[in-house]
Structure 1
């Protein structure tokens, strides 16, 4: 039976696709409907959904709360207009008791347990993101630095595209995403990042299951020893 993952604030499914590629069955949650989201999706406020959704059915939870307050792309005068959802998301993830990952832009107030960039996965975009996790992850080695000689044709997936930022088609190729529209892809997590993190999550889930099994067997043996008749 496949492991199950919940993707909070999933939007059009960049992280969800990476979770699926890692072998998880995925259910997304987002208040915005997207016809391009490729998996099952609950449309609604993530925190409201968490009040009734049975988290016991999931093995792993991913969360990418909106980053506008911390994004360099948001004008400084407008950042206060956006809610800071990092702390309530962290509290919800910690309370779940599940293996989890929270992702955001580099200026967000996350614990930088893992920092990933496109060169680590051979992507033609830098796309630096930070990840807060509650399980061990060993980051991959960096690839060649971005520049006209080492990364010809590299693109910046932001804004409206065009010019030095690259075409929309180049964005799709660089991100490994070919199912989103322009507005969706600028907010997306490259699936390669989520797949990498999810593979480490699977190791943690397997280790936890083995530990619980060993603990149960030890308790069973201890119980049997208590009922052995005395000679």
Structure 2
């Protein structure tokens, strides 16, 4: 499939490659690209607006291919969140979604590569995710309330970001905004539809995490 590479902003390559699993329309992938990574995306569904080299496949099957995965410097994964998300309970349909987070963490733990897993905060409260970082759009100047938890493996870092400013903030663009562009644009996902953005995260999250990850990897190379 021809990818719309014209969407990609110019930036210097840091010499590193990251595998982006459950990639969707590339909210996370774009952040890693901005941090300097070469991104390869994997998703079981066609993602015509994902601008990166794309593999349409089952992410867990790809993750189980050790020879393929070890060709990358790091792995990021965003397993579908419906099996843990509170909104799924409200709809009474949690049983309709498999838990893909648990097998993802198990496979990632079998590697020595640095990795990052993203999911809803409830996956840390009630599921297997460890919330090493909990991020919100308002911490990065995005006008959206979008809390997501991140677990890091085989590396870690500590840094401060602005405090979350979403509490009682009436200026935020709501998740279910009917304007076709409003929510996607507020997220910083300007190449997506609103529907795709509702399944994504702001690229600012992985730009921040990816910059730290690149620093870790480059430091490891220097000391090796």
Instruction: Give the TM-score of the pair, scaled to structure 2.
Output: 0.84
Residue-pair matches, total = 203
Aligned partner of 2:26 in structure 1 is 13
Question: What CA RMSD, in Å, does the superposition of the two structures yield over aligned residues?
Answer: 1.7
1:39 aligns with 2:52: yes
1:55 aligns with 2:69: yes
Pair 1:139–1:104, CA change in 2 (3 A): farther
Listed as ranges, the matches of 1:101-116 within 5 Å are 101-108=116-123, 109=127, 110-116=129-135
Pair 1:139–1:129, CA change in 2 (3 A): farther
Listed as ranges, the matches of 1:22-33 within 5 Å are 22-33=35-46
1:72 aligns with 2:86: yes
> Is the CA contact 1:114–1:139 (under 8 Å) kept in the aligned structure 2?
no
Aligned partner of 2:114 in structure 1 is 99
> Is the CA contact 2:115–2:152 (under 8 Å) kept in the aligned structure 1?
yes
Q: Secondary structure at the match of 1:202?
A: helix
Deviating above 6 A after TM superposition, structure 1's stretches of 4 or more consecutive aligned residues are none
Aligned partner of 2:197 in structure 1 is 185
Gaps of 5+ in 1: 213-231
Instruction: Give the TM-score of the pair, scaled to structure 1.
Output: 0.82
Gaps of 5+ in 2: 1-13
* Cα distance between partner residues in 1 of 2:24 and 2:136: 21
Aligned partner of 2:157 in structure 1 is 136
> Is the CA contact 2:144–2:166 (under 8 Å) kept in the aligned structure 1?
no
Cα distance, 1:2 vs structure 2: 1.9
1:118 aligns with 2:137: yes
Q: Which has more radius of gyration?
A: 1
